[in-house]
Structure 1
Amino acid sequence: MKFGKEFASQMVPEWQEAYMNYTQLKNLVKRILVFRQRQTRSLNKVKPPSKGTSLKRNGSLFRAFSGLTSRFGNASVKRDKEKEEVILASAVQHEDEEQGECLKYRTIFLRSSDDGGEFEVEFFKGLDYEFNKVVNFYREKVEEVVKQAEELNIQMDAFIALRIKVNKPAAATPGMERNTGEVSEQHQDIRVDDANEHMMASLDVLKRIKLNATTETPRSTMRSVFNSLSSDLQFNKNELKEAQGKLKQAFIEFNEKLRYLKNYSFLNQLAFSKIMKKYDKITKRNAADAYLQMIEKSYLGQSDEVAKLIERVEAAFIKHFCNGNRSQGMNTLRPRAKREKHRVTFFVAYTAELTNVLSCEGCFFGFALALMVVIIINMHTKDLLKNDEKTQYMNTIFPLYSLFGFIVLHMMMYAGNVYYWARYRVNYSFIFGCKPGTELGFKQVLLISSGLSVVTLAAVLANLEMDMDPNTRSYKAVTELLPLGLVIVVGLIAICPFNVFYRSTRYFLLVCIWHCICSPLYTVTLPDFFLADQFTSQVQLLRNLQFYICYYGWGDFKKRNAQTCNDSDIYKTISIIIAVIPYWIRVLQCVRRYFEGRDSTQALNGLKYFSTIVAVVARSMYSQKHGMTLKIIAASTSGIATIFSTYWDLVKDWGLLNKNSVNPWLRDKLILPNPYIYFIAMVLNVILRLAWMQTVLDFHEAPSLHRNALIAIVASLEIIRRGIWNFFRLENEHLNNVGKFRAVKSVPLPFSYEDGDKNL
């Protein structure tokens, strides 16, 4: 792999703009090369032809003989090259409005009068700009981590004092705080690091701190709302455990940021070395040494704060959070990269070269296609779906199995999202807050979706075969239990406590679902509202779950007749409520975010979802009762909600439709190389939203299709729309993080100080 690609692959995605622009500098070097090649060709054209062998000898042949025994036979050549000064690289004082007085690095090219010297002057100007950008960014980030280290020091002082107070009350008496001779051996492990190693941690800090109240559980949220409880320390083990958990996570994130900075410094120094060597190779000059010496003497090359902080963070983490177990501590701070498993590739996607289109010819997909062919052949050859049987199947069996079809389609769209996020370096694992190394790649997602599709299609085929076989046809009730059994198996796998089937991902998903259910009692994070948005596109799946409960709960499965469910007014009312629930969850999440941040945008977002609720209720009532009045109400409310939602998708969620942008009607920054893809996505978003509205309002009738089939098609189109929305929504979030250089999560710290006093 060429260095340029390797350099880009190792960048922190959120800091990409802060790295040296290797590609641009490489292009400037290429311009120098092109000029020199043209110059050489022009000289060769005017050079007179050679007339025989010249007897003139090279002047070097008449110089003094250097000898065969000299240890430094080429020393004179080196001295001649060293005398040939090409550049003067230096640092000068510079006044900056934001940073004040600082060093600015500048290079003077001494051969600008040479032919093509203007290209080399331009190269060094670009080189200086990139180097100053890198140094300034690195200095800012180092100053930032130094301040964070000071904050963590203060937090650790308070944590150690709290640990002494809770676990060693006998050692917490005032007379023993600074008298290490009176502390027993069992207390010696609780110490303040560095200069205060010989002293027991002072408990005075506990008088000036408070425990930051957590609002991450429904119980704590209700207490904070109704009781306004004080966050004074109670000195109990629960407080100690909570503080330890927060500080441990803060240390992990802080260490990750330090490692990012260390790698940033190394990669950029390597990039400057590579580009200077490339310049020397093309120009036959000796400028690299002088420039690299300047880099080595700069803040980027001389600063060692990051390396020292990494050592101290590792030592403190191992001591205070891993009981001195270095192996455990380093595995936590430096998790190993996730290894690709070949069996996943075999079962899911034995992929040829992955280009713009994801081409998968895997084992499970082959099984799924084969099963689909067998099912279709069985239906046609045995004339299974006659008029009466077709209606019966579409009213009962089809809704039962289409539930799995919606899940598989959604997961396949998500697999496509993951593939393109990874391809265009959208840091989706960081945005979602996944534990490092546990995020699923697109192959893993395809493995799950294709495996589920195979099991579902096998169940459908078994259902058909049992219906057609005279020996098993009398066991109609047992045959109807196959879909229910499949739902139970999938549910048990989802909540399985054992470390199988990607347990960490399943747990993460279940936690997000619980947060959605308990809205607004949890602080709303991006994974929570992102998942709630997925549910708004899976209304038909939720209604199918309702059909499961009715169909099996009321015993309709015994006679394969859903008349009880379809004729029940209660069932129809609950169906409307179920359609509203996902949107209501989003309304509550927007309300919670509004009161936490006082952001008026969240109020408008909540109003958008509320308008959708009104439209869903109107459409559902019209589909059940019909009537011109209901049709007008449903059409008007759906139109308003569609316009509102489409605008929000394009402008707020995707950040597009900016007419003053560098890319007209798009964003200033785009990840995809072809801008027309964004316009196609916008048009598709509008069409798919309108298709949903028009179909529900019966603007287009399809007499050849059963009503449930038409509903499934429209629901599938909404899932596809959501899959497209997912990519651009996360792309916009990634670009926002890039704009603010947010590469690590901000972790709330456990302690706060009275009157902002940090002098503990």
Structure 2
Amino acid sequence: MKFGKEFKKQMVPEWTEAYMDYNGLKRILREIWHFKQSNQPPTPLRTSQQRLTMYRAFSGLNLPSINLQTEGDIEDQVIAVNMMQQEDSRKVYNTEILMSPEEGAENEIMFFKKLDGELNKVNRFYRDKVEEVMSEAALLNKQMDALIALRIKVEKPDFDGSSSLRRLSMDIANTAPIRITSPSRARTPGREHINLEHQVDISGSCQLEECEGQIVNISQYKPAPLEILDHVKIKNTLESPISTIKGVLKDSKERDLSFKKEELRQVEERLKLVFIEFYQKIQLLKHYSFMNLSAFSKIMKKYEKITSRSASRSYIKIVDNSYLGSSEEVTGLLERVEATFIKHFSNSNRREGMKLLRPKQKREKHSITFFSGFFSGCSIALVVAVVLLIEARNIMDMEEGTVYMENIFPLYSLYAYIVLHMLLYAANIYFWRRYRINYPFIFGFKQGTELGYREVFLLSTGLAVLALATFLTHLHMKMDSRIHNYATYIELVPLGLVTVVLVITIWPFNILYRSSRYFLIQSIFHCICAPLYKVTLPDFFLADQLTSQVQAIRSFEFYICYYGLGEFSRRRNKCHSHDAYNVFYFIVAVIPYWIRFLQCLRRLFEDKDMMHGYNGLRYFLTIVAVIIRTAFEQRKGLTWMVLALVSSAVATIMNTYWDIIVDWGLLQRQSRNFLLRDKLLVSQRTVYFAAMVLDIILRFAWLQLMVKFNVRSLHGKAVSSIFSFLEILRRGMWNFFRLENEHLNNVGKYRAFKSVPFPFNYYDEEIDKDD
């Protein structure tokens, strides 16, 4: 793979604009090359060159002597890099070309001007990020001091920090420097003393196994002071419904320490996550530095090759001496973080500690591709078999068959909605990866556990095969007169299928992508408990998906009615004759929009941003429209039709505006791209205009309730299902552009890391008293 492609592939997606513009510099070099080719005199024939070399003077067999005492470096005569220091002590580089003016030199001047600009940009960005990391490291130091003190307080309640410190100081004063030996080889009295005062920190020097045989002066190590606990409180992150309710009632975001083991465990878990994320930041910074240094080296080699000027060594020397190439803060901090994490969070087990800090990259398996193709082929074959069986038995022409299809259609259409949504999600993942949208970071997936489009396609085709095979078996048994006496038991087949699917979803063993299944269950639970949980992007993104799955949720309601009220034993669908069913028919349609409304209220309460209030109003208007449309669907009448038209039109107009302008960020007046936005990941602009038109058309799909489509070959429920499929397709299209806009917002702010809150809050008692 060429370096340019590898460089683009290895970029942090959110930092793309902060990297050296390698392709832009290559374009300038390409112009220089074209100019030299067009002005280069024709070369003589190769035979003539060979003849001329035969008449050159013989230089001898001895090696030419190398004169090291040259008056000056030849490269210094090509370029001179000037360094200027700004007021904030940052260096700015400016290259001057030291050669006689000649035709075509403008391109080389442009090349070095852009090269200097890229070097200054990369240096500035790298320094800013390093300063942020070092500031966060200082905060982490204070968090670790509090954690160690809390460990002493919890594990040794009788430990008196001040008296123990004085006693230990007296012991240290009378103690000579000790030699550390391996515990497996020797045991010294000093080791028992270190075990007793187990908070004595020796991480500042070396690990125990690394220090073997070395002289260590123990007088420089001290136990963590317990007085620090008088100045800290635990942050209340409001991560559970109970903590949220307490936070609302007490209006407090922090609480005093209780010095319980459960509290210590929670603090350790939160600090462990902080360290893992912090380590990932440092690794990305180190990789950023390495890739940019390689890019500068590669582009200067290309410059030398094209222009035949020796300027690479001089410029690369400047790059190496710049902050990007000379700063060792990131490397040193990386080593200190590793040592701290291994010692304090993995019991000095380096293998386990590094496994947490550096999770393994996910590997693509050929078996996934094979089974995806196998299941997709089986799905097509089963669909053909179902259609042929229905036509061969003339099921739709029989009264019993029509009743059967009316009962059974809602039970199996549930899987059609889910499979279609999963297939669209797999397509979204494919295009997100193709256009370098960092969806694992946006959704907050744990590194190495996120599903790719192949895995999602495998799950969707597997579910399709399971549902179609069950439906074909059920249909065959239903039409077989020989087992008519077992008709009641045959009706339980759909219930058995949904039970199997639910059991697989909550299966506790580590098979079938357990981490992803539990991530989905957790997000669903957060949606159900809204607004008691803090709203994150996966939660409200999932709630938006549920708004397009109203018919699937109603299918669950039909399951409860059909089997819970015993309708399956009579093999008649009389659910609409039950008042409770009709009431919940309204409620079920409203639930997804109500969840989003509550999530918007929670975000408005926390962020104090009125955009969340307007978003909540949009969902409230949609709730009103859905209720009125459902009432019109059941009761008919001119009044209900007018109310449904007005309410649905208002909600649809507001939803369409929000989709295109807020969620997708399009239709910006001052944009470089007409009626779109400044940055676009898809190069074909017509894709965005087509998506906007299609979104508007599909948003008005509810008009099918007012204007009935009478198609003889289709049942009424089949028509409503088709429009439900169209809504799922609209949601799949919405997903891509919504995440594209979110990714570009992260790029604009260079957000490439998750923000994990610290467990401790520091405060000063003296300042509090003065206040």
- Class of the TM-score when normalised by the shorter of the 2 chains: over 0.9
1:357 is matched with none
Alignment match, 1:206 = 229
Structure 2 CA distance for aligned equivalents of residues 741 and 611 of structure 1:
36
Question: What CA distance in whole angstroms lies between the structure 2 residues aligned with 1:51 and 1:306?
Answer: 57
Counterpart Cα distance in 2 of 1:511 and 1:473: 43
1:295-334 map, 5 Å: 295-334=319-358
Aligned to 2:6: 6
Q: Deviations over 1:225-257 (max 9, x none)?
A: 224566111221222112111111110000000
1:164 to 1:381, Cα distance in 2 relative to 1, 3 A = same
Task: State the match for 1:256 in structure 2.
Answer: 280
Equivalent position SS for 1:105:
strand
Q: Out of 665, 677, 694, which is 1:684 matched to? A: 694
SS in 1 for 2:256: coil
CA distance in structure 1 between the aligned counterparts of 2:220 and 2:467, rounded to whole angstroms: 64
Give the CA deviation at 1:82.
Answer: 3.0
Structure 2 CA distance for partners of 1:395 and 1:77, relative to 1, 3 Å: farther
Distance 1:314 1:495 in 2: 35
Q: How much has 1:482 moved relative to structure 2?
A: 1.4
Q: Does 1:478 align with 2:502?
A: no
The alpha-carbon distance between structure 1 residues 21 and 433, as it changes in their structure 2 partners (threshold 3 A), is same
Tell me the residue number matched to 1:221. Answer: 244
After superposition, the C-alpha distances for 1:561-616 in whole angstroms (9 at most, x for unaligned) are 112x0222221110100110111111110011011010100000000000000000
Q: Which residue of 2 aligns with 1:93?
A: 85
Which residue of 1 is the match for residue 209 of structure 2?
A: none
C-alpha distance in 1 between matches for 2:583 and 2:365: 48
Instruction: Please name the residue that 1:32 is paired with.
Output: 32
Contact kept, 8 Å, 1:618 with 1:633, in 2: the verdict is yes
SS in 2 for 1:385: helix
Q: What is the aligned counterpart of 1:394 among 393, 405, 411?
A: 405
2:531 aligned to which of 520, 526, 532? 520
> For the residues of structure 2 that align with 1:69 and 1:54, how far apart are their CA atoms?
23
| Correspondence for 1:16 | 16
- Relative to structure 1, is the Cα distance of residues 73 and 482 closer, same or farther in structure 2, using a 3 angstrom cutoff? farther
Distance 1:135 1:173, change over 3 A: closer
Deviations 1:501-559 (A, max 9, x none): 10000111111011001111111000010011111110100000000000011111123
- Identity across the alignment (%): 50
Matches within 5 A, 1:607-622: 607-622=617-632
Which residues of 2 match residues 138-287 of structure 1 at below 5 A?
A: 138-180=126-168, 185-192=194-201, 193-194=203-204, 198-228=221-251, 231-287=255-311
Distance 1:410 1:236 in 2: 46
Pairwise CA RMSD of aligned residues? 2.5
CA contact (8 A) 1:543 1:575 kept: yes
How far did residue 188 of structure 1 move? 3.4
Shift of 1:469: 2.3
Letter in 2 for 1:199: K
Residue 57 of structure 1 and its aligned partner are, at CA, apart by: 8.0
Counterpart CA distance in 2 for 1:187 and 1:68 is 76
Whether the aligned pair in 1 keeps the contact of 2:76 and 2:314 (CA below 8 Å) is no
How far apart, in 2, do the equivalents of 1:237 and 1:36 lie? 74
Letter in 2 for 1:68: L
Please report how far the alpha carbon of residue 756 of structure 1 lies from its aligned counterpart in structure 2 after TM superposition: 9.7
Asked if 1 retains the 8 angstrom alpha-carbon contact of 2:130 and 2:330, the reply is: yes
- Check whether the contact 2:426–2:453 (CA below 8 A) recurs between aligned residues: yes
Q: Output one character per residue of 1:315-341: Cα deviation in whole Å (capped at 9) or x when no partner.
A: 000111111110000010011111111
User: Shift of residue 94 of structure 1?
Assistant: 3.1
Pick aligned residue for 2:74 from 82, 90, 95? 82
**CA offset at residue 90 of structure 1?**
3.0
Instruction: Specify every segment of 5 or more residues in structure 1 that has no aligned partner in the other structure, as ranges.
Output: 349-361
Give 3-state SS (helix, strand or coil) of 2:255's partner. Answer: coil
| Larger deviation, residues 467-476 vs 736-745 | 467-476
Task: Pick closer, same or farther for the CA change 1:400–1:757 going to 2, 3 Å.
Answer: farther
Question: Is 2:362 the counterpart of 1:338?
Answer: yes
- Residue 179 (structure 1) shift: 3.8
Q: Give yes or no for contact 2:75–2:310 (8 Å, CA) kept in 1.
A: no
1:48 deviates by 10
The answer on 1:660 being equivalent to 2:660 is no
Pairwise CA distance, 1:560: 2.0
3-state SS of the aligned residue for 2:86? strand
Aligned residues: 732
Secondary structure class of the residue paired with 1:669: coil
- 2:231–2:765 CA contact under 8 A, matched in 1: no
Distance in 2, Cα, partners of 1:137 & 1:589: 36
The farther-off stretch of 120-129 and 175-184 is 175-184
Aligned ranges for residues 486-635 of structure 1 at < 5 Å?
A: 486-563=497-574, 565-635=575-645
Structure 2 SS opposite 1:498:
coil
8 A Cα contact 2:75 2:311, kept in partner: no
Match of 2:738 in 1: 729
Are the counterparts in 2 of residues 694 and 700 from structure 1 also a CA contact under 8 Å? no
**Counterpart residue type for residue 632 of structure 1:** V
Q: What amino acid does structure 1 have at the position aligned with 2:509?
A: F
2:435 paired with 1:460: no
Task: Report the Cα distance in structure 2 between the residues aligned to 1:388 and 1:78, rounded to whole angstroms.
Answer: 105
Which residue matches 1:113? Answer: 101
Q: Which residue of 1 aligns with 2:211?
A: none
**Equivalent-residue separation in structure 2 for 1:513 and 1:656 (angstroms):** 30
Partner of 2:92: 104
1:692-731 superposed Cα distances (whole Å, 9 cap, x missing partner):
x111333544454211101111111111111111111111
2:743 is matched by which residue type in structure 1?
H
Q: Which amino acid aligns with 1:610?
A: F
Question: What is the DSSP-based 3-state SS (H/G/I as helix, E as strand, rest coil) of the residue aligned with 2:483?
Answer: coil
Query: How big is each residue's C-alpha offset from its partner over 1:26-58, in whole Å with a ceiling of 9 and x where there is no partner?
Result: 111100011111112xx33xx999999999889
How far is 1:194 from its partner? 3.0
For residue 359 of structure 2, give the secondary structure of its aligned residue in structure 1. coil
What's the offset of the Cα at 1:680? 0.8
Equivalents in 2 of 1:205, 1:68: separation in Å?
78
Does 2:636 align with 1:643?
A: no
Q: Structure 2 residue aligned with 1:715, among 724, 730, 744? A: 724
- CA separation of 1:51 and 1:333: change in aligned 2, threshold 3 A: closer
Query: Secondary structure, in 3 states, of the residue corresponding to 1:398?
Result: helix
In structure 1, what is the Cα distance between the partners aligned to 2:362 and 2:520?
Answer: 20
Structure 1 position 464, deviation (Å): 1.7
**Local SS of the residue matching 2:721:** helix
